[in-house]
């Protein structure tokens, strides 16, 4: 089915019909699709596969579904995107790599960025030709975003940015960085922050990858030395960065869990051949937690599709997803420890080791476990508000 056909029919069908048509396209495109689905241990090669898959989906029209027409999409909702992710994982997909940020950054651009800027950059994100990094944490401002020091001053023409970011996701591969900077005084804390899109190819930007314990260059550090940012690249309002960042983090902690839990599910399934009777309890616990994440994620997807705020419920979802991720990979470690400790030359086993090691940090990134517990206590349970 061509791009025009996908575009026309997404508006007139049920989600079930949409999934059936996507499966038909996958079957008809198997020769082009199959080489792009499995992950490989080399992360650079994995990113290149992800780019090529996004290009294939975009050219066929599927990669534009779930995004508003005025921003370059084909209409539909996040439920269409979620259904496609589900089918891709069932077909053996290794995951989105750098394009996880599509579900974090792109909704924020659609909601808060200048419409013309969004129309210019979103299609290149959807087709895989350009990707985005997220610049929040700093050397002395990790979980406490309100204390960040990277500063932007307006010179009458552009914003001039100076400072540094650390633990910047996928900066090695990105063209753009959605950064949170200080435009007010330090005393204003979160009220003095602004979100902006910074071109990582601009003069004054220096990016260096950080090699992780699992061997990947997913994270990096970035310095800005007199970097010029045009006013139309402000995302939201000047001084309104905190609100935009809370919207972004609700997606990182909430709806992104749909994509992540699908990968956990497939890894658990693929390891079933190694399971013994002694594994039943651990595997059962992991499977039950996966169902819990799936249920809470579906609820958040439905709220997003109906344009409701995700709010503090995303913190609960982040906690549940974090616990589930560690439960799954702990179970896989205990089922066959050699695969995790000594993966040898097997891509599948090397990736399992990488993901097991990554699961050790999930209680920190995207807001620590303690911060999520505080959010739940205050904003869901109403504790400490008296």
pLDDT in tens, 333-374: 888 888 788 877 788 888 888 888 888 877 777 666 777 777
Helices 313-335 and 280-305: angle between axes, nearest 10 degrees: 150
Cα–Cα dist 117/340, whole Å: 44
β-bridge mates for residue 352, sequence order: none
Alpha-carbon torsion angle 276, 281, 287, 293, nearest 10:
-150
- The ranges assigned to domains in the chain are 3-95, 132-241, 254-380
May I ask the CATH class of domain 132-241?
Answer: mainly beta
Question: Would you say residue 298 has pLDDT above 50?
Answer: yes
Cα–Cα dist 293/318, whole Å: 9
> What are 11-45's pLDDT values in tens digits?
556 899 999 999 999 999 999 999 999 989 899 99
Assess contact for 342 and 278: CB atoms under 8 A: no
CB burial of 322-360 (b: ≥16 within 10 Å; e: otherwise) equals bbbbbbbbbbbbebbeebbeebeeebbbbbbbbbbbbbe
Which residue is catalytic, options 252, 304, 325, 355?
A: 252
Nearest to 82 by CA among 264, 234, 228, 301: 301
| Residue located via tokens 């940015």 | 161
Q: Choose the CATH number for 254-380 among 1.20.140.10, 3.40.1440.10, 3.40.50.300, 1.10.1200.10.
A: 1.20.140.10
Question: Would you say residue 386 has pLDDT above 50?
Answer: no
Full DSSP string of 11-71: TSS-HHHHHHHHHHHHHHTHHHHGGGSS--SSHHHHHHHHHHHHHHHHHTTGGGTTB-GGG
The model carries a pTM of: 0.89
> What are 101-139's pLDDT values in tens digits?
999 999 999 999 999 999 999 999 999 999 999 999 888
> What are 175-198's pLDDT values in tens digits?
999 999 999 988 888 889 999 999
Quick one: tokens of 90? 């069932």
Nearest to 177 by CA among 235, 236, 116, 129: 235
**Has 252 been annotated as catalytic?**
yes
The DSSP bridge pattern shows strands 176-182 and 132-135 to be: parallel
Burial class from Cβ neighbours inside 10 Å (0-12, 13-18, 19+) for residue 160 reads middle
Identify the DSSP state of 162: E
Assess contact for 10 and 80: CB atoms under 8 A: yes
């Amino acid at each position: 089915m061509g791009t025009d056909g996908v575009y026309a029919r997404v508006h007139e069908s049920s989600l079930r019909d949409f999934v059936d048509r996507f499966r038909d396209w996958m079957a008809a495109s198997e020769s082009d699709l199959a080489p792009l689905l499995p992950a490989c241990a080399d992360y650079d090669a994995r990113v290149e596969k992800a780019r090529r898959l996004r290009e294939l989906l975009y050219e066929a029209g599927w990669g534009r579904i779930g995004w508003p027409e005025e921003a370059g999409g084909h209409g539909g909702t996040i439920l269409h995107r979620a259904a496609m992710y589900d089918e891709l994982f069932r077909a053996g997909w290794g995951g989105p790599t750098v394009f996880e940020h599509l579900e974090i950054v792109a909704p924020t651009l659609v909601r808060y960025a200048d419409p013309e800027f969004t129309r210019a950059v979103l299609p290149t994100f959807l087709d895989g030709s350009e990707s985005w990094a997220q610049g929040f944490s700093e050397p002395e401002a990790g979980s406490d975003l309100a204390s960040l020091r990277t500063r932007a001053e307006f010179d009458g023409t552009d914003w001039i940015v100076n400072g540094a970011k650390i633990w910047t996701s996928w900066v090695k591969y990105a063209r753009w960085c959605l950064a949170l900077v200080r435009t007010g005084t330090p005393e204003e804390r979160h009220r003095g922050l602004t979100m902006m899109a910074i071109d990582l190819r601009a003069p004054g930007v220096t990016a260096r990858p950080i090699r992780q314990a699992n061997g990947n260059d997913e994270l990096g550090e970035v310095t800005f030395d007199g970097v010029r940012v045009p006013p139309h690249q402000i995302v939201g309002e000047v001084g309104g960065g905190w609100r935009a960042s809370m919207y972004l983090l609700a997606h990182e902690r909430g709806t992104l869990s749909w994509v992540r839990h699908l990968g956990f599910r497939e890894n658990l399934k693929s390891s079933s051949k190694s399971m013994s009777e002694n594994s039943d309890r651990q595997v059962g616990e992991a499977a039950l937690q996966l169902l819990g994440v799936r249920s809470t994620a579906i609820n958040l997807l439905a709220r997003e599709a109906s344009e409701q705020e995700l709010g503090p419920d995303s913190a609960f979802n982040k906690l549940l997803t974090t616990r589930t991720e560690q439960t799954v990979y702990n179970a896989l470690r205990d089922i066959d420890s050699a695969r995790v400790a000594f993966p040898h030359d097997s891509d599948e086993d090397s990736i399992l080791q990488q993901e097991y090691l990554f699961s050790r940090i999930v209680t920190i990134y995207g807001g620590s476990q303690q911060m999520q517990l505080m959010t739940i206590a205050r904003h869901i349970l109403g504790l400490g508000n008296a």
